[in-house]
Amino acid sequence: MKKELFDSVCEEKVYERLYQQHARDLHDFCYYKFGDSINPEDKVHEAFMKLWEKCKEVPFAKAKSFLFTLVNNASLNSIKHQKVVLKHQAVKPKGYTNETPEFVMEEQQFMQRFERALNNLPEGQRIAFMLNRVEGKKHQEIADMLGISRKAVEKRIYTALDKLRQEIKEL
Amino acid sequence: MKKENLFLRWLDHSLSEADRTALQDDERFSAYEKISQAAQYFRAPEFDASSSYDRLRLKQQEETKVRRLKPWRIASAIAALLVLGFLVFNLNADELTTYSTATAESLEVTLPDDSAVQLNAGTTLSFNEEKWQDARDVSLDGEALFKVAKGSTFTVETDAGSVQVLGTEFNVINREGLFEVTCYEGRVAVAINGKEAVEITAGQGLRLLNSKASRFETAVSNPSWVNDKSVFKSTPYHMILAELQRHYTIQIDASAIDKSVIFTGSFTHQDLETALRAVTEPLQLKYKIDGDRVTITK
């Protein structure tokens, strides 16, 4: 790790490596934070541009938290974009379709309910929940990304999960 | 192991297969799993870091073109302006705007406050345009008619005295030995060097000839020279000759005559012969024109 001490973010190779390492997580983070109201890549680019501008001031070891802090603090300017909506992906994770029409109906209703519940989650909970459940991130990883304690992450995921369960239980 | 702990482990992706079977029949767990599966439908869109990086670099290059150049451009523009402004200011701060008329020439000048000044031949008028707001001073050498814009005040400085304008139309003569102010409209305050200012109103004039001050009245509404004519009243003859030389490109040799004689009369600016006759005949003098040389004799 000694080498890292001398890695300057201003070096393009180092900069690119940082991009390869973190861009995807930042991208996902942004998506779960803002939904489809913005292009998450734009926010990632903004953060990295800022990093490039301040490459002399940000040591390599601090680059990751610098990036995530920027994305985390980013907010939407336009009021019409305040409603965050996670889009239902067209492609189903499972390919089989040998289901009864009733089942398909129920599934559809379930998904509608789920979508509403998910979008109604507080931002912090939704991000933690999605990163954990969908992106398979461990609690500590999420804690590092959000700059909060591992305990707080656990609580957020757990709360989100329970809220979703309450919402769809009635079905 | 407590169930809560198992849930936590499951959530942290560190539940062993054995523990998983322990949760298998739990109603809450199956609900969680269902939620977990449903959440997969809301996965973030695909993201390819490499192509995204290329797009970032492209953006940055465009940004560099726009951004990096801009501050430099602005800085250089500011610097250039500063230098230019500095130069202009320094050159102009003490530099006077000067208007001069040559022989037989008349010029209409507009002052920064829109007052009009008409310069008679052989006259120099100068003022500081930059500092006009602070010091509304006009210096005059020669003769000029001032038509001051309403509500405007300034001072006409001459080496013999100054004229403080009180909103008016007036004529000032400042020529060797003669300082004369004639007011045609409104009033002006005339301060002859070292003396208290005297106010004169329309139709009045103040003359300082050879250190002797006198007041006079005038019936005309503007000085004669404006109408291409020079009119004199009890004026030393050398001044008439000097004025003649200002309106005609001539050299007058009058060494044979007494030039201190007082003359009252006028001459036209249109024709030299007529003018010469007008100023010589009343005094029974003779003149001879030889090119641009005029000799006046008894």
Residue B252, domain CATH: 3.55.50.30
Distance from CA of A125 to the nearest CA of B (A): 13
Q: What is the pLDDT of residue A89?
A: 58
Q: Are residues A68 and A123 in the same domain?
A: no
Which of B32, B37, B50 has the CB atom closest to A165's CB atom?
B32
Task: Examine the pLDDT at A61 and tell me if it is beyond 90.
Answer: no
pLDDT digits (tens, 9 = 90+) for B236-245: 888 888 888 8
Q: Is the residue at B73 inside a domain?
A: no
Q: Is the residue at A154 inside a domain?
A: yes
Task: Examine the pLDDT at B152 and tell me if it is beyond 80.
Answer: no
Q: Are residues B143 and B208 in the same domain?
A: yes
Q: In terms of Cα–Cα distance, which of B169, B157, B173, B167 is closest to B206?
A: B173
Domain boundary among B174, B208, B224: B224
User: What is the SS3 assignment for A17?
Assistant: helix
3-state class percentages of chain B: helix first, strand second, coil last, to nearest 5: 35, 35, 30
Q: Are residues B204 and B111 in the same domain?
A: yes
Q: What is the pLDDT of residue B122?
A: 86
Task: Examine the pLDDT at B44 and tell me if it is beyond 80.
Answer: yes
* Beta strand pairing call for B155-157 and B137-147: parallel
Return the ∠ at Cα A38 (arms to A37 and A44), rounded to 5°. Answer: 145
Q: In terms of Cα–Cα distance, which of A127, A100, A137 is closest to B11?
A: A137
B154-160 own/partner pairs: CB under 8 Å, 24+ apart? B154/B111, B154/B113, B154/B115, B159/B193, B160/B192, B160/B193, B160/B208
Task: Examine the pLDDT at A80 and tell me if it is beyond 70.
Answer: no
Out of A20-29, A96-105, B224-233, give the one with best mean pLDDT.
Answer: A20-29
Which of B8, B39, B63 has the CB atom closest to A49's CB atom?
B63
Which of A52, A93, A139 has the CB atom closest to B40's CB atom?
A93
Q: Are residues A130 and A69 in the same domain?
A: no
How confident is the model over B202-219, as a mean pLDDT? Answer: 84
What's the whole-number average pLDDT of chain B? 83
Domain boundary among B173, B207, B224: B224
How confident is the model over A14-33, as a mean pLDDT? Answer: 91
Q: Are residues B108 and B178 in the same domain?
A: yes
Distance from CA of B76 to the nearest CA of A (A): 22
pLDDT digits (tens, 9 = 90+) for B276-289: 888 888 888 888 88
Per CB-CB distance under 8 Å, the chain A contacts of B39 are 114, 118, 129-130, 133-134
Q: Is the residue at B56 inside a domain?
A: no
Q: Is the residue at A54 inside a domain?
A: yes
Burial, A82: exposed, middle or buried (Cβ in 10 Å; 0-12, 13-18, 19+)? exposed
Q: Is the residue at B60 inside a domain?
A: no
Q: Is the residue at B277 inside a domain?
A: yes
Domain boundary among B180, B196, B224: B224
Is A93 within 8 Å of B55 when comparing Cβ atoms? no
Return the ∠ at Cα B202 (arms to B201 and B205), rounded to 5°. Answer: 75
Range of the domain at B7: 3-42
Between A and B, how many CB-CB pairs are < 8 A? Answer: 101
User: Is there a contact between B282 and B295 (Cβ–Cβ < 8 Å)?
Assistant: no
Q: Is the residue at A12 inside a domain?
A: yes
Q: Is the residue at A35 inside a domain?
A: yes
Which of B7, B41, B43 has the CB atom closest to A111's CB atom?
B41
Q: What is the pLDDT of residue B132?
A: 77
For A90, name the nearest residue in chain B, comparing CA atoms only.
B41
Beta bridge mates, B192: B161
Q: What is the pLDDT of residue B209?
A: 82
Is B11 within 8 Å of A132 when comparing Cβ atoms? yes
Q: Are residues B168 and B256 in the same domain?
A: no
Edge to edge, the sheet with strand B251-253 lists: B251-253, B293-297, B286-290
Which of A28, A87, A139 has the CB atom closest to B12's CB atom?
A139
Task: Examine the pLDDT at A91 and tell me if it is beyond 60.
Answer: no
User: Is there a contact between A52 and B60 (Cβ–Cβ < 8 Å)?
Assistant: yes
Token reading at B290: 């030889």
pLDDT bin (cut points 50, 70, 90) of residue A67 is: very high
Q: What phi-psi label fits residue B194: left (phi over 0), alpha (psi between -120 and 50 degrees) or beta?
A: left
Distance CA B171, CA B231 (A): 13
Please give the residue that has the higher pLDDT: either B75 or B164.
B164
Q: Is the residue at A44 inside a domain?
A: yes
A92-96, A134-138, B145-149: which range is least confident on average?
Answer: A92-96
pLDDT digits (tens, 9 = 90+) for B73-89: 777 778 888 887 776 66
Q: State how many domains chain B has.
A: 3
Q: Are residues A60 and A124 in the same domain?
A: no
Tell me if chain A has a CB within 8 Å of the CB of B50. Answer: yes
* Beta strand pairing call for B251-253 and B262-268: unpaired
Q: What is the pLDDT of residue B71?
A: 65
Task: Examine the pLDDT at A98 and tell me if it is beyond 70.
Answer: no
**Contacts of residue B234, Cβ cutoff 8 Å, sequence gap at least 6:** B262, B263, B264
Q: Is the residue at B79 inside a domain?
A: no
Task: Examine the pLDDT at A118 and tell me if it is beyond 80.
Answer: yes
The domain spanning residue A171 has which CATH number?
Answer: 1.10.10.10
Q: What is the pLDDT of residue A159?
A: 93
Q: Is the residue at A93 inside a domain?
A: no
Give which of B35, B51, B54 to mutate to test A binding, by max A Cβ within 10 Å.
Answer: B35
Q: What is the pLDDT of residue B53?
A: 92
Instruction: List, as one string, the DSSP characters of B88-142.
Output: HHHHHHSPPEEEE--TT--EEEE-TTS-EEEEPTT-EEEE-STTTTT--EEEEEE
Q: Is the residue at A89 inside a domain?
A: no
Q: Are residues B214 and B255 in the same domain?
A: no
Q: State how many domains chain A has.
A: 2
Q: Are residues B104 and B210 in the same domain?
A: yes
Range of the domain at A139: 119-171
User: Is there a contact between B166 and B187 (Cβ–Cβ < 8 Å)?
Assistant: yes
Q: Is the residue at A134 inside a domain?
A: yes
Q: Is the residue at B246 inside a domain?
A: yes
Q: Are residues B291 and B271 in the same domain?
A: yes
Distance from CA of B18 to the nearest CA of A (A): 20
The domain spanning residue B181 has which CATH number?
Answer: 2.60.120.1440
pLDDT bin (cut points 50, 70, 90) of residue A148 is: very high
Is A41 within 8 Å of B43 when comparing Cβ atoms? no
Q: Is the residue at B81 inside a domain?
A: no
Q: At what angle do helices B3-11 and A150-169 cross, to 10 degrees?
A: 100
Token reading at B196: 């208290």
Q: Are residues A60 and A123 in the same domain?
A: no
How confident is the model over A64-92, as a mean pLDDT? Answer: 68
Q: Is the residue at B249 inside a domain?
A: yes
Token reading at B123: 């006259």
Per CB-CB distance under 8 Å, the chain B contacts of A115 are 42
Q: Are residues B182 and B262 in the same domain?
A: no
